[in-house]
Amino acid sequence: MSCEEAMVTNVISITQDKTVADALALFEEHSIRGVPVLNGGDRLVGLFTIQHVLRRLLPEAAILKDQPRLRNVDVSLDNFHGSRALVAKRLKSQKERTIGEVMIVPDTVLPDTPLREGIRLLEKYGSPIPVVEDKKTNKLVGVITSQSIIRQLNTMEEAN
């Protein structure tokens, strides 16, 4: 079984020049949590998810996991009460940024990538994972999401 069989093809996407506010409106409108970023045509250039928004609401000092000796440390923000204004201010400034500034370059799968590899990547990086026609052109053909895979597996089980 390949990723092609479990992917969603009517993908909602965004372009790099749009803002975070635009993306958040898309998330709300379509009840989704992430969008592939396209170059204006059908070429995949990045990924932007709600997870990235959440990360940017936190102070940098609380998320230094890549620093040596801080890997095992959770800097708790439990002691900071009354920080609502700070978080709101940060969200406001994030909303104005363009998607090109804040997107990440995601791991992708090909349509014939085995589904188990797709599940492994979803577990590692979170949903969605873009499916591209080939890694050179990066032409987006769909996305696999946690739900799309479970749905496909359920359908197969019922058919059996």
Partner 1 sequence: MLEETLQWDTAMLVSAIIFTITFVGIFTESVHELHRTKVAMLGAAAMVLAGQFFGFYNPELAIEAIDWNVVFLLGAMMTIVAIMIPTGGFQSIAYLIARISDGRLYLLMIMLGIAVAVISCLLDNVTTVIIFGPLIALICQALSVNPIPFLLSASLFSVMGGVATVVGDPTAMMIGSAAKIDFNTYLSHMLGIVVAAFATAMVMLRFLFRKNFKKVALEPQFAKGTGIQDKKTWFASLTVLAVMVVLFINHSAMHWEPWVVACIGLTMMVMVTYSVNLDRYLSEIELSLLMFFVSLFVIIGGVEQSQFLEYLGGFFRPFVEKDLFWSCIALMWIAAILSAFIDNIPFTAAMIPVIMGMESQGINVTPLWWALAVGAGFGGNGSHLGSTANIFIVTLTERMAKQENKPSLAITPGLWLRKGTPVMFGTLAAASVIMWLFFDFYEAPLPK
Rule CB under 8 A: is residue 84 a binding residue for partner 1? no
Rule CB under 8 A: is residue 57 a binding residue for partner 1? no
* CA trace torsion 14, 109, 143, 111 (10° rounding): 120
User: Given the rule CB under 8 A, which of 3-11, 36-44, 64-72, 123-131 is the region that contacts partner 1?
Assistant: 64-72
User: Considering only residues 73, 104, 105, 150, which one is a binding residue for partner 1 as defined by CB under 8 A?
Assistant: 73
User: Rounded to whole angstroms, how far apart are CA atoms 129 and 6?
Assistant: 12
- Please report how close the Cβ of residue 130 comes to partner 1 at its closest, in angstroms: 26
Residue 139: what are its φ and ψ, rounded to 5°?
-75, 125
Measured from the CB atom, the residue of 55 and 120 that comes closer to partner 1 is: 55
Cβ neighbors of 148 (< 8 A, separation 6 or more) are 6, 7, 8
Contact yes or no for 30/81 (Cβ under 8 A): no
User: Given the rule CB under 8 A, which of 13-21, 82-90, 141-149, 152-160 is the region that contacts partner 1?
Assistant: 82-90
User: Rounded to whole angstroms, how far apart are CA atoms 98 and 59?
Assistant: 20
- Please report how close the Cβ of residue 91 comes to partner 1 at its closest, in angstroms: 13
- Please report how close the Cβ of residue 47 comes to partner 1 at its closest, in angstroms: 20
Contact yes or no for 128/37 (Cβ under 8 A): no
Give the H/E segment covering residue 92.
helix 84-95
User: Given the rule CB under 8 A, which of 14-22, 59-67, 108-116, 128-136 is the region that contacts partner 1?
Assistant: 59-67
Rule CB under 8 A: is residue 10 a binding residue for partner 1? no
Q: Which residues bind partner 1 (CB under 8 A)?
A: 56, 59-62, 64, 67-83, 86, 93
